[in-house]
Amino acid sequence: MITPNMLTAIRIGLVPLMIYSYLYVPRNGGTIAFSIFIFSAITDIMDGYIARKYNMITKIGTVLDPLADKLMLISVLSIFSLNNKISFWILVIMALKELFMILGAYFLFYNKEVVIPANVYGKVSTAMFYISGFAIMLDLSIGTLFMNIFVILNLISLFIYFYRFVSIKGTI
């Protein structure tokens, strides 16, 4: 049986393939990258479903799964920004947000061996990221609106994580 952590590892491995396809494959590179992006979204859903259904949630999985999400997110946003499909500010805001999340997660895990689980806004914003990414890759005008909604949801998620971080940090 394929484990959630294997699916997460596959998602991490897909990131450089998606970047290379989108930027350097002259014929059908965008289509290949789009297919990889879809496959990444499917494996993201599958690994969470399998982990919960079969009680295969691990500490390493709770660290690697968001890492895979962050790698894909920053890579896709970088590609979109380089190709003027989104504003550069979206990439900067999201990169800073993800950096804060990584530093906070590292601090908590290193000092307390605590991992803050995803909140509903984080899950919804991940879904909105994939939806907006699909729309932008397909050159749909609604992609920009979806991307802005994604950024707002992500910032709400950041504030929730920050609140949880401060609550846990106070017990260190």
| pLDDT score, position 100 | 85
Query: Rounded to whole angstroms, how far apart are CA atoms 47 and 55?
Result: 11
| pLDDT score, position 40 | 95
Domains of the chain and any CATH numbers:
4-169 (1.20.120.1760)
| pLDDT score, position 87 | 96
| pLDDT score, position 121 | 76
Query: Rounded to whole angstroms, how far apart are CA atoms 64 and 171?
Result: 25
Query: Rounded to whole angstroms, how far apart are CA atoms 102 and 2?
Result: 27
* Digit-coded pLDDT (tens) for 134-146: 999 999 999 999 9
| pLDDT score, position 169 | 59
Query: Rounded to whole angstroms, how far apart are CA atoms 100 and 12?
Result: 20
Are residues 123 and 82 in contact, defined by beta-carbon separation less than 8 angstroms? no
Q: pTM to 2 decimals?
A: 0.87
Instruction: List, as own/partner pairs, every contact residues 52-59 make where C-beta atoms lie below 8 angstroms and the sequence separation is at least 24, other chains included.
Output: 56/3, 56/4, 57/4, 58/4, 58/5, 59/113, 59/115
Q: Which residues of the chain have pLDDT under 70?
A: 108-119, 168-172
Helix H segments across the chain?
4-24, 29-53, 59-82, 88-112, 120-137, 142-169
Are residues 69 and 44 in contact, defined by beta-carbon separation less than 8 angstroms? yes
* Digit-coded pLDDT (tens) for 6-33: 999 999 999 999 999 999 998 999 999 9
| pLDDT score, position 115 | 61
Copy the structure tokens of residue 92. Answer: 């900067």
